Amino acid sequence: MNLIQNTHQELKGFTILVVEDNELSQMVAKGLLEYNGASVAIANHGKEALEILRNEKMDCVLMDIQMPVMDGLEATRLIRTNAQWADLLIIAVTANADHHYKDLCRSAGMNDFLTKPINPELLVNTLLKWLVSKRDSKACMGNNN
């Protein structure tokens, strides 16, 4: 079952970093994203995410908020201080769905917010909304040069 209804928009060609401390959640996210064509890397906490970002190019980060070692808010703030990652798409993924957490995520520099348990179709559609738009705007800018 392919969760993408429009076959012209798929996650193929996109690389997504899943930052999540729960092993089962990692496996579910990785399986879902790879099933829909994405390449996936996994980090167990924010510090690992920063290490991966230093060595690999990512199109998007799915960032859990509450993790050991370095939480998602701190990791996002550090990512946003690096000009190299200024345009990196970061989507919060958390069980905390109240407005306070949404505000914290936005103020840290996250682009969007998804709640757990993840709705697979909403996840894929949210990624497509951001990633395809970003890719298309880069293509337009490239055509103007």
- What are the per-10-residue average pLDDT scores of the chain (145 residues)? 51 95 95 93 98 97 95 96 94 87 93 92 93 67 53
The whole-angstrom separation of Cα 17 and Cα 3 is 19
Backbone angles phi, psi at 11, to 5 degrees: -90, 0
| pLDDT at 145 (0 to 100) | 47
Cα angle 85, 18, 93 (rounded to 5 degrees) comes to 95
**Which pTM value belongs to this model?**
0.87
Burial letters for 128-140: b for 16+ Cβ neighbours within 10 Å, e otherwise?
bebbbebeeeeee
Inter-residue contact 68 to 19 (CB < 8 Å): no
